[in-house]
Amino acid sequence: MAPRTRLFARLMRLVEKGIEEVEDLPAHRAKRVRLQRSAVGQRLFGRVHAQATQQEITIGSGSRALVHRPTDVAGPLPCVVNFHGGGWVQGNPEQSGWLASSVAVGARAVVISPSYRLAPDAPFPAGVEDCWDALTWVVDHADELGVDPSRISLMGDSAGGNLAAVMTLLARDAGGPEIRSQVLIYPGVEMYDRWPSEDRNAEAPVLTSRNMRAYVRLYLDAQHGTEDFRASPIRAASHAGLPKAFILTAEHDPLLDNGSRYRDALVEAGVPVRYVEYEGAIHGFLSLPGVVPVARRALDDIVDFLRATA
C-alpha cells in the first residue's frame, strides 16, 4: 500500500462513522458533497478532465444525470452508462466525475452518470427500477444525446457495479437494449454469503465488513433475505449470453471475492472476462486518484477495454 494510501486509511479510521451510526443521513450526504467540491476534495477525488464537457440533464421521470463527452470528437459516439457507488444509501454522480470524464476522453465516448433513489427512504428495488429507466431512456433519446444506441456499455463501482451487473441481466432477459460490454468495479454481487476476503479485510479503509452488512440491511429493508437476482446478480439462474466483462478488484477490499466469484460465474457461462486485482488498492480507489496511485493504471485499463469492445 502506497504511503499516501496508508495515511488516508489512518485518517479514515479516526473520522469515519459506521453508516448505521449516522443520525441525520441527509446532512451526512450533504457534508460529503461539500467535501467533494472543496479544494481538498478535488485533490482526493480528482477533477473533471480538461478535455471533457460536463452537462447536467433531467432524464426519465425526473432524475438527474451528468453527461461527460470529449470536446474534440463529433457524434454519434459510443455511450457508457455509469452507475455511482455508495452502498445504495449515499453517493451521487459527481463523485464519478474524474473517472467518467477521463473515460469519455480516453474512450471517445459519451459517459452518462444517472442518479437513482437511495435507501433507506427508497429501498430495493427502487434503485434497480431507476437505473433501468435511465438505461432505456438513454437508448430512446440516443439521437438528441449524440450517441449510437447500438454501442451502449455499462459501468459501475461498488453498489453501482451491482446495478450495472443487474442491468445486463435485465437487458438480456428483455431482449434489449443491446449491451456491448460491462465494466464492474469492485462490485457487490452477493448480499449474504461471507467469503474469505471479507474476513481478511474486515477493518479495511473506506469499507469495513460491518458497514458492508449495514448497507445491505438498509438497502433491502423488509426484503432482507430475498434471493432475487436483482439484489444478488450472482444468484441469477443463468449468466449465459451476457456481454463481455471487465471486472476490477482491490487487494485491500472486503468485496474482493465478490468480484472474483462473479468472474468465475461468467466464465463458466461462456462470457469473455478480463479480470484484474490491483495490488495496494483499497475499496473505492477509482474515486480516489489522489490517494491511490494505481487508480490511473486502472483508468487506462478501462479505456483500453472500452475502446476494444464498445
Region of residue 172 (left: phi > 0; alpha: psi -120 to 50; beta: else): alpha
Catalytic pick from 130, 148, 157, 253?
Answer: 253
Active site residue 264: no
CA distance linking residue 215 with residue 231, whole number of Å: 12
Q: Which residues of 118-145 are buried (b: 16+ CB within 10 A; e: fewer)?
A: bbeebbbbbbbbbbbbbbbbbbeebeeb
Which H or E run contains 166?
helix 159-174
Written as one string, the DSSP assignment of 179-191 is EEEEEEES----S
Annotated active-site residue 252? The verdict is: no
Q: Assess whether 157 carries a catalytic annotation.
A: no
Annotated catalytic residue: which of 63, 115, 283, 287? 283
Give me the catalytic one of 158, 197, 209, 287. Answer: 158
Indicate the pairing of strand 63-70 with strand 110-114: antiparallel
CA dihedral 116, 122, 124, 128 (to 10 degrees): -20
Place of cell 443520525: 23
The DSSP bridge partners found for residue 53 are: 69
Q: What is the 3-state secondary structure (H, E, C) of 43-86?
A: HHHCCCCCCEEEEEEEECCCEEEEEEEECCCCCCEEEEEEECCC
Three-state DSSP class for residue 273: strand
Between CA 212 and CA 50 the distance in angstroms is: 35
Region class of 280: left (phi > 0), else alpha (psi between -120 and 50), else beta? left
CB 253, CB 278: distance < 8 Å? no
Contact call for residues 261 and 190 (beta carbons, < 8 A) = yes
Strands 63-70 and 52-59: antiparallel
Residues recognised as catalytic: 158, 253, 283
